[in-house]
Amino acid sequence: MTKEDLLNLRIDCLDKGFVRLVDYMGDDSAVVQAARVSYGNGTKSYREDRGLIRYLMRNRHTSPFEMVEFKFHCRMPIFVARQWIRHRTANVNEYSGRYSEMTDDFYLPDISQLRHQADDNKQGRSAEVLEDGKAELIMKSMADSQKASYDEYKSYLSQDLARELARINLPLSAYTEWYWKIDLHNLFHFLKLRLDKHAQFEIRIFAEAMAQIIKQVVPISYEAFEDFILHSRLFSGLEVEFLKKIVDTKKINEKALLDLGLSKREAAAMIELFTNKL
Ligand SMILES: Cc1cc2nc3c(=O)[nH]c(=O)nc-3n(C[C@H](O)[C@H](O)[C@H](O)COP(=O)(O)OP(=O)(O)OC[C@H]3O[C@@H](n4cnc5c(N)ncnc54)[C@H](O)[C@@H]3O)c2cc1C
């Protein structure tokens, strides 16, 4: 895809939201270019560039990833925006309900999402949808109260109440929108937290949309992020003690690791880790 194709690429999210790429600066080559300043070399082959990016990601040498920036236009329910805004390293400019009239767009979850409270996660929902017609009734009740609160909002406006006050009883399901600009390092941090299954389903949808867009701009960095951050696991000191007892280090040989897709350098690092450092 060319840069022109990517710009304005829009992915619909939830029932009335979206993520749209407005602009970006840099790609994998910007990461490599910045990193090579540290090591005093120019651009090398694709294989070497990929190796370098993976090395940077593995060793948490993060500043070269800050050379790439993304600017998105996003539309999401206010309760999603509240979780999203906790990520302080982005630049944000949000729609103003003081300046402009709020729209009558409210988030209504798909009925398949109206599930029981999870037993194993106090912050989440379980896999089972509410039974005996309860889900349908709640959906209708949510839609009715959204409409009632918007009608009330409009009636306040018609009495010339200031917009900044007329809006204060609107629910968290009301849609807002913003421009959101962030560098790749901090975007990876956001994605690590918000693609995780512990993140709320609704914000995960937006994280997935952004991931889908950026992997087309920075495919090598995204692959390294998936491998070394997203799909990696952290072990505590005690867990490492346990691993030491059960791992048969004789089975960790270079060929098996190369067959899995690790580079020679990565295989050597893993052998070193398991034989000497674990
Ligand atoms: C599943 C989940 C559940 C959550 N539940 C809750 C909850 O119940 N209540 C709640 O309040 N929050 C909750 N949060 C929000 C969470 O605590 C973080 O505020 C949010 O994820 C942003 O993370 P961050 O601070 O690392 O990100 P960012 O703000 O993007 O910061 C990125 C990194 O920059 C550094 N940084 C940024 N600003 C500072 C600073 N001022 N000082 C020092 N270092 C800084 C830190 O290293 C930080 O990790 C939850 C988040 C998740 C993913």
Tens place of pLDDT for every residue, the chain, 278 residues?
788 888 978 999 999 999 999 999 999 999 999 998 866 655 667 678 999 999 999 999 999 999 999 999 999 999 999 999 999 999 999 999 998 999 999 999 999 999 998 888 888 898 888 898 999 999 999 999 999 999 999 999 999 999 999 999 999 999 999 999 999 999 999 999 999 999 999 999 999 999 999 999 999 999 999 999 999 999 998 998 888 888 887 778 888 889 988 888 888 888 887 776 55
The answer to whether 178 and 95 are in contact (CB under 8 A) is yes
Is the sign of the CA dihedral 167, 172, 178, 181 positive or negative? positive
Among 110, 107, 112, residue whose Cα is nearest residue 130: 112
User: What is the model's pLDDT at position 147?
Assistant: 98
**Nearest atom in ligand 1 to 88's CA:** 29
pLDDT for res 253: 83
Dist. CA 257–CA 226, nearest whole Å: 18
What is the number of the ligand 1 atom nearest to the C-alpha of 200?
A: 1
**Token pair of 274, please?**
């398991």
Residue nearest (by alpha carbon) to ligand 1 atom 53: 193
Cα 200 to ligand 1 centroid, rounded to whole Å: 15
* Alpha helices by DSSP H, 77-183: 78-84, 134-158, 163-166
pLDDT at 269: 83
∠ CA 84-145-108, nearest 5°, is: 45
Residues with CB under 6 A from ligand 1: 86-89, 123, 186, 189, 193, 198-199
Give the number of other Cβ atoms within 10 Å of residue 11's Cβ.
16
Q: What pLDDT is attached to residue 42?
A: 57
The CA 92 to ligand 1 mean position distance, Å, reads 16
Asked whether the beta carbons of 73 and 22 are under 8 A apart, the reply is yes
CA distance 228 to 264: 16
